[in-house]
Amino acid sequence: MASTSTRRKVGLGLLGSGVVGEAIQDIIFEDRRGKLGEDLELEIRRIFTRSPKHKKWFAKRSALFATKAEEVIDDPGVEIVIETLGFQDQAELPIFRDYILRAFEKGKSVVTSDKAVLATFGNEIWAAAKKYGRQLRFEACVGGGIPIIRSLSESFAAEEPEAVFGIVNGTCNYILSQMEKSGKPYAEALKEAQQKGYAETNPASDVSGSDAEAKLLLLSAVAFGLQLQPGTTWRKGIEDIHAVDFRYAGRTGSSTIKHFAVAKRQGQVVQVFVSPVMLPRENFLAGIDGATNAICFKGKKSGGARRDRDCDYVLVGPGAGGGPTAVAVLGDVCELCRGGQGRFAGLPSLVQPGTLEVQPEDEIDGSFYLRFIVKDRAGIVGDIGQTFGRLGVNISEIWQLRHSEEELRALAQSCRLKENPSEILPFVITLEQATLRQMREALDYVRNRDYILVDPVWFPIWGAK
């Protein structure tokens, strides 16, 4: 066992003392006493937070706390700056970016858990890291404690990536899991997620898919060298999913519904999107419940043993929470301390940036699930079929289940319908191969029909031939 005198002492500057920042303090101050492995002794020299007096460790270590980030970044004893601020407003992101840039200018490497800052200002930040010869590590930005960034950039460095996809938002996965298991309406499942700490008071970032999009942009950058901005890819959230959709997917389609982030190469373009998908139950990811994340990787060289699977590797673990995220942050810190600072500067990518392009959104194609709620009268399915047919899209199947009065009443209530529940008709159609352009054109026609009571809910069917 190495003695304290043989350990390398490394000074850390911590920006943020929220859930993740406090978990880092717990590990260093309490659990490990700063000692990691047999070679390192980590010392938090300064901590930036806006309200230090209310923080857990302030009473015992008040001298470490600062109310100006510059005091932390500029401290000569700080070698590595850890940024775990977590934004509450978009206007904060440029400020957090400036903190990272200042650290590079001062000759310090940065470890961050802030995916929104990297997704928005990644090009500028990586360019600065390269300019000043400093490291930017961001394992904790995607998948919480799952080591996906390190796996892609190091373990799979010799691979030719074909796809990276999976469940990257624990809030969405928890809500969908509860809706399927208990038949709860979306609003009730969301409230439960908030009560258990899986969802924020304002859950918009999670349920709209923007959190998953930010993570996907980072995965796309590392796997395929894409440098995309938030809002430039197709994104659907889970707000419109209803418990009835699980009935149709499960009882008729032998499937479930999961929220996926997908980057999939097709020739020289990469299909990038975030959306719910109808997923066959035999797929491994169908069994990922609760707030767990699971990320799949598919590589050309590893594909020989794939057979019927849609990926070669699956990394599963807690996707959020102070503990797992803090572990990922400190893993990056240890890598830097043990000589990783010279390994790369700038964006680590398996594909040279600029080699591939993102597929135009309207050209994304696949089979689709569409759920309608209409006035119960004859001729509706035929009209919908003709509309899609005129655009060259064929209907694969029509699903209609018997619904109890209670189920129809709950559906009408959640959709805020004034109609008598006995007069509404839910049903599902599945489509053969179609593009997003065809889907949108057809739905623009259909949603204006007088029989449509609720905007149709639609999303891809995963793995459909």
Q: Is residue 347 part of a domain?
A: no
Give the range of the structural domain holding residue 456, as residue numbers without chain letter. 363-461
Check whether residue 176 and residue 142 sit in a common domain: no
- Residue 23 one-letter amino acid: A
CATH number of domain containing 222: 3.30.360.10
Q: Is residue 35 part of a domain?
A: yes
Check whether residue 53 and residue 85 sit in a common domain: yes
- pLDDT at res. 183: 87
Check whether residue 297 and residue 158 sit in a common domain: yes
Global pTM reads: 0.92
CA–CA distance from 285 to each of 81, 296, 458 (Å)?
Answer: 36, 9, 20
Three-state secondary-structure class, residue 377: coil
Query: Tokens 């940024």 map to which residue?
Result: 83
Check whether residue 299 and residue 186 sit in a common domain: yes
For residue 192, the Cα-to-chain-centroid distance in whole angstroms is 20
Cα angle 101, 48, 343; round to 5 = 40
Phi, psi (degrees; rounded to nearest 5) at 365: -130, 165
CATH number of domain containing 115: 3.40.50.720
Check whether residue 171 and residue 310 sit in a common domain: yes
Taking the C-alpha atoms of residue 303 and residue 464, their distance in angstroms, rounded to an integer, is: 19
In order along its 465 residues, the chain shows pLDDT tens digits of 445 558 889 999 999 999 899 999 999 998 777 788 788 899 999 999 999 999 999 999 999 999 999 999 999 999 999 999 987 788 999 999 999 999 999 999 999 999 999 999 998 998 899 889 899 999 999 998 899 999 999 999 999 999 999 999 999 999 999 999 988 889 999 999 888 888 878 899 999 999 999 999 999 999 999 999 999 999 999 999 999 999 999 987 799 999 999 999 999 999 999 999 999 999 999 999 988 999 999 999 987 666 667 899 999 999 878 899 999 999 999 989 987 555 556 678 899 989 999 999 999 999 999 999 999 999 999 999 999 999 999 999 999 999 988 889 888 888 889 889 989 999 999 999 999 999 999 999 999 999 999 999 999 999 865
Q: Is residue 348 part of a domain?
A: no
Check whether residue 304 and residue 332 sit in a common domain: no
Residue 138 near residue 335 (C-beta atoms within 8 A): no
Residue 442 near residue 393 (C-beta atoms within 8 A): yes
List beta partners, residue 228. none
Check whether residue 174 and residue 280 sit in a common domain: yes
How far is the first Cα of the chain from the last one, in angstroms, to the nearest whole number?
57
Q: Is residue 2 part of a domain?
A: no
- pLDDT at res. 1: 44
Residue 275 near residue 460 (C-beta atoms within 8 A): yes
Residue 366 near residue 464 (C-beta atoms within 8 A): yes
Taking the C-alpha atoms of residue 4 and residue 91, their distance in angstroms, rounded to an integer, is: 44
- pLDDT at res. 340: 59
Three-state secondary-structure class, residue 317: strand
184 in catalytic set: no
Q: Which of 115, 215, 236, 298 is catalytic?
A: 215
- pLDDT at res. 346: 67
Residue 199 near residue 239 (C-beta atoms within 8 A): no
Q: Is residue 1 part of a domain?
A: no
Q: Is residue 63 part of a domain?
A: yes
Taking the C-alpha atoms of residue 179 and residue 218, their distance in angstroms, rounded to an integer, is: 29
Taking the C-alpha atoms of residue 146 and residue 436, their distance in angstroms, rounded to an integer, is: 32
Check whether residue 85 and residue 217 sit in a common domain: no
Check whether residue 173 and residue 71 sit in a common domain: no
For residue 70, the Cα-to-chain-centroid distance in whole angstroms is 31
Check whether residue 423 and residue 386 sit in a common domain: yes
CATH number of domain containing 413: 3.30.70.260
Check whether residue 236 and residue 133 sit in a common domain: no
Q: Nearest to residue 465, comparing CAs of 365, 379, 366, 396?
A: 366
Check whether residue 381 and residue 287 sit in a common domain: no
- pLDDT at res. 415: 87
Sort residue 134 into left (φ over 0), alpha (ψ -120 to 50) or beta.
beta
Q: Which helix (H) or strand (E) holds 259?
A: strand 255-266
Q: How many domains does the chain have?
A: 3
Q: Is residue 368 part of a domain?
A: yes
